[in-house]
Structure 1
Amino acid sequence: MTLDDSASTELRWWSIPGRFLRQELLPVLTNLRLAIALLLLIALFSISGTVIEQGQSPAFYQANYPEHPALFGFLTWKVIQVVGLDHVYRTWWFLALLILFGTSLTACTFTRQLPALKASRRWKYYEEPRQFQKLALSAELDTGSLNSLNEILQKRRYKIFQENSNILYARKGIVGRIGPIIVHVGIVTILLGGILGAMTGFMAQEMVSSGNTFQVQNIVDAGPWASTKTLKDWSVRVNRFWIDYTPTGGIDQFYSDMSVLNNQGQEVDHKKIFVNQPLRYHGVTFYQTDWGISAVRIQFNNSPIFQLPMASLDTNGKGRLWGSWIPTKPDLSEGVSLIAKDLQGMVLIYDSSGKLVDTVRTGMATKVNGVNLKIVDVIGSTGLQIKSDPGIPMVYSGFAVLMLGTVMSYFSHSQIWALQKGDRLYVGGKTNRAQVAFQQEVLDILDKLSSPSENDNQTNTTESLASNPPL
């Protein structure tokens, strides 16, 4: 084998992947049905991630998605955990769908949209009357001139190309050809932002008593590339938590007054948060999502004030109650139970037999087991959901680009050709959308070219349009 034969064989081997890419892979990637199917699958699983609670404990799913009876006949906690529906947006198959859909859009952009834009930027003059017959809309006039047509088209914001005195080409709305490309860029940017957020973001939950300072530690869900090192550089103090109630006793809104502190304990940010008004600091967002009762402050006779924790009680779904047991004797042989259901200050006192002893409000005292028991305060706790998603700015930018591209796509790309041959003027045009509006525009142009006083000319125009009807 000669050197030339070896080079030729190596060249053929290198050309096999390129040929496979062009002839086998690209047609599949750019297939519209594939893109629609991928989009529907992404939408379906995104909905499932919204409906099914994400990042909860196995016990939560076992309690809410039992095997008997299974939700919809198949959805159980085992299915959720095996498939990964408890963390949909970070599963390998969901990320694979995003990557495949983005690849399909990118391939379509380079193989179809960009060549179509390049073709629309080129122009070709019509030099023979027969060329106008293939246009959707055309007419033959025995009056008018290219100069007058040029003036009319300029007023209608057409871009004019004229090589000599008898040939003209005009177009407008080239931005409509750019629109689909911008739409694809916006969608791909959104997909990249979603992947970035899934891989580098995290979610945490904290229940913090009013007056306490904490660092974000209870992370319940995190991407494989998530970094939490910067969380140690600052902390958050819940200055105060309170609830506004309606006149009927229902919750109107609950609030947390929060401060961000640096390692020296200095306040670097401060905000009062409530539902839909979170605190944002260094890419971490604190949402007000829940509340509870963390402790009760009491005083026996003239003793110092004690703060005792209150725990959430199991009511089988019949409301929320918090309780605590308070000893009334030093040897703990006797005591009472305190029950509270909200932060309005009412506390129920029960003895060891479960009998209601008294009902008091904060600041009031009552006699139990021979001692004077005063309820100084009921301390609330704020439930915070803490999220970090570095992909959000990219997602928002992608949506902005997508909306821009959508608006641009509504512009019609309209083209008009004209040929002056002797005393005959041939005019024709086509557009990619808004056919009826374009037809009316061309008719208005022809009316201005034709003399209104010459009925014969109007008849010729009408007959020409009838012989070449618009789509």
Structure 2
Amino acid sequence: MATAAERLSTVQALYAEFIDTFGNVLFAVSLLAIWGVMTLIGVVIDQGKNPSAYFNEYPAQVARAVLRLGLDHIYHSYEYVGLIGLILVSLTVCTFKRVIPARLPPLHPVLVDKIPLHAFIEVNGSEPAVRARLEGFFVKAGWHVRHKIFNGVEWTFADKHNWARRGVLVAHLGFAIIAAGTTLYWLKGYSGAVAILSGQTVQVPQNGDMLTVHSFNYTIKPTQTRGGLVYQPVDYVSDLTVTGASGAATRNLLRVNHPLEFDGIAYYQASYGYGVSFRLTQAGHPVAGVPATPLFEGDAFPVGPTGRSIQYSQFVGTIDPRAPSGIGADPRPFNPGVVVTVLDGEQPLGQEIIPLGRAVDLGGGYRLEPVSYRLYSGIEYRHDPGIPLVGLGALVLVAGVCIAFYFLPARLFVRLEGEGDRWTVGLAAQTPKGYTMFEEQFAALVASLQRSEEATVS
């Protein structure tokens, strides 16, 4: 059985290993790099959308990978929050074991001639007078002067920009505030997206708000480019009513790039499209299983008991037989149709462009007809109570980085040796950024002190 001393030694060894690991700068930088990559993934991949939206936006293999790896809600994943926790632990260890001892060293004597930046100056006068002149010189030059006695020897310490030593600590605090804001979003926040047909009302599942799109309009501007005529959406807007769980309602125009705020929820006009109603018959009789409401892109329905299904893949505004793909450049519904994909399980068997209002033969007596279309509005919503904290943390982080990089704190160690009226001033300087950056300033300070003493003697 291990003795108490052996157990204590084991605990001390584990503690030392923990400090070495989490206090390692390379380890902390690696964690920050991984956090940056995960955050970038969350920026590139739209978060909180319906699975069908990813299949519409990406190839099937990529969409499946996004969903299986949980990249559609990465900010709410345990891995992301756990990584932030590790970063906070690492920052805490680095702060108290590395940054504070290096940036905020206690007053202590030094061997003046062993420090690279040092000088010796011969001065005359009584000890109190010399000390008073030295203190006056440093104070006039903007240095904060303190005195302390070690083993009967009085040392003078002069600091400039001593507050700037805390720049790294301020930056650490900023990241901690950002982490708190991110955690608050993880605990209390949510986001998502809904597709609402014109005239339809949809409930937001997280908060019970009812969204009603009374109408939807868009503006497309044809633009001539070197590659040809391009039809670019320049504006799309929903006439939207938001009704809260309490019954309070507000009606506004929700325009692209102009979010609407309601009870702490931000609503964004994100996209639009066309919902299409289909009719499937066999031998002239309707086939069960076809939704009565319009389908959105990516939706599918079964073809009777055949094991196959029809997926509505794309709305075609203008069918153009002259185009290689049969799809014209103009997305506006002048000669509309749809692209459908025939699926056998999840395996696509082929695609077909079907003009609106025209039935096509699927074989086995089945006929498929896209009957009509309705515009729908794609609306994203987000509730993030951590935004004020994240904004504050970013400001504090930038302030800390600016302080750390643009201000140079320095400390002077001054020792007076001699007797009577003849004294030698030993002067040394240290900075947390090394000696080279302060070399010219130190030389100018020593020269100024020498001129001051010469002027006093004369």
Q: TM-score range by the shorter chain?
A: 0.5 to 0.7
1-side partners of 2:264 and 2:40: how far apart?
25
What residue number does 2:304 align with? none
What residue number does 1:400 align with? 395
Cα deviation code 1:43-76 (max 9, x no counterpart):
2333334444544555666674455xxxxxxxx5
What code does the residue aligned with 2:386 have? G
The change in CA–CA distance for 1:352 and 1:29 in structure 2 (over 3 A counts) is closer
Gaps of 5+ in 1: 1-7, 68-75, 218-227, 297-307, 324-339, 355-377, 458-471
The change in CA–CA distance for 1:259 and 1:13 in structure 2 (over 3 A counts) is farther
The change in CA–CA distance for 1:114 and 1:138 in structure 2 (over 3 A counts) is closer
Deviation at 1:138, TM superposition (A): 1.7
Match of 1:256 among 234, 238, 247: 238
Which range moved further: 159-168 or 276-285?
Answer: 159-168
Deviation at 1:263, TM superposition (A): 5.8
What residue number does 1:182 align with? 170
Gaps of 5+ in 2: 125-129, 224-230, 278-291, 299-310, 320-329, 338-354, 360-372
CA contact 2:256–2:269 (8 Å) conserved in 1: yes
CA contact 2:270–2:378 (8 Å) conserved in 1: yes
CA contact 2:144–2:158 (8 Å) conserved in 1: yes
Match of 1:108 among 94, 104, 108: 94
Cα deviation code 1:296-345 (max 9, x no counterpart):
9xxxxxxxxxxx9876689998874399xxxxxxxxxxxxxxxx9548xx
What residue number does 2:181 align with? 193
| 1:31 counterpart = 2:24 | yes
Match of 2:270 among 289, 293, 308: 289
What code does the residue aligned with 1:415 have? R
The change in CA–CA distance for 1:205 and 1:52 in structure 2 (over 3 A counts) is closer
Match of 1:140 among 106, 120, 137: 120
Deviation at 1:240, TM superposition (A): 5.0
Match of 1:387 among 371, 382, 386: 382
Match of 2:37 among 15, 39, 44: 44
CA contact 1:207–1:383 (8 Å) conserved in 2: yes
The change in CA–CA distance for 1:153 and 1:238 in structure 2 (over 3 A counts) is farther
2-side partners of 1:352 and 1:257: how far apart?
29
CA contact 1:310–1:322 (8 Å) conserved in 2: no
CA contact 2:318–2:335 (8 Å) conserved in 1: no
Say which SS state the counterpart of residue 450 (structure 1) adopts: helix
Which range moved further: 51-60 or 182-191?
Answer: 51-60
TM-score by length of 1: 0.64
CA contact 1:146–1:166 (8 Å) conserved in 2: no
CA contact 1:148–1:449 (8 Å) conserved in 2: no
The change in CA–CA distance for 1:291 and 1:50 in structure 2 (over 3 A counts) is same
Say which SS state the counterpart of residue 171 (structure 2) adopts: helix
Deviation at 1:415, TM superposition (A): 0.8
The change in CA–CA distance for 1:252 and 1:428 in structure 2 (over 3 A counts) is same
What code does the residue aligned with 2:413 have? W
The change in CA–CA distance for 1:138 and 1:266 in structure 2 (over 3 A counts) is closer
What code does the residue aligned with 2:415 have? L
| 1:413 counterpart = 2:397 | no
Deviation at 1:286, TM superposition (A): 0.7
What residue number does 1:428 align with? 428
Report the identity percentage: 22
Deviation at 1:384, TM superposition (A): 0.2
Cα deviation code 1:134-160 (max 9, x no counterpart):
122122223474444433322332111
2-side partners of 1:263 and 1:168: how far apart?
68
| 1:446 counterpart = 2:446 | yes
Match of 1:242 among 212, 217, 226: 217
The change in CA–CA distance for 1:274 and 1:417 in structure 2 (over 3 A counts) is same
Match of 1:157 among 138, 142, 151: 142
CA contact 1:175–1:408 (8 Å) conserved in 2: no
The count of aligned residue pairs is 369
Match of 1:88 among 53, 69, 74: 74
CA contact 2:146–2:156 (8 Å) conserved in 1: yes
The change in CA–CA distance for 1:274 and 1:158 in structure 2 (over 3 A counts) is farther
What code does the residue aligned with 1:417 have? F
Deviation at 1:161, TM superposition (A): 1.2
Cα deviation code 1:182-218 (max 9, x no counterpart):
222222332343344234433222223456554313x
Say which SS state the counterpart of residue 140 (structure 1) adopts: strand
Cα deviation code 1:228-274 (max 9, x no counterpart):
3xx23x5444455333443656321222344444567554x555433
What code does the residue aligned with 1:134 have? K
CA contact 1:419–1:427 (8 Å) conserved in 2: yes
What residue number does 2:286 align with? none
Deviation at 1:288, TM superposition (A): 0.9
1-side partners of 2:154 and 2:357: how far apart?
108
Say which SS state the counterpart of residue 108 (structure 2) adopts: coil
CA-based RMSD of the aligned residues comes to 4.4
1-side partners of 2:154 and 2:12: how far apart?
46
CA contact 1:143–1:451 (8 Å) conserved in 2: no
2-side partners of 1:78 and 1:214: how far apart?
27
What code does the residue aligned with 1:159 have? H
What code does the residue aligned with 2:12 have? R
Deviation at 1:17, TM superposition (A): 7.5
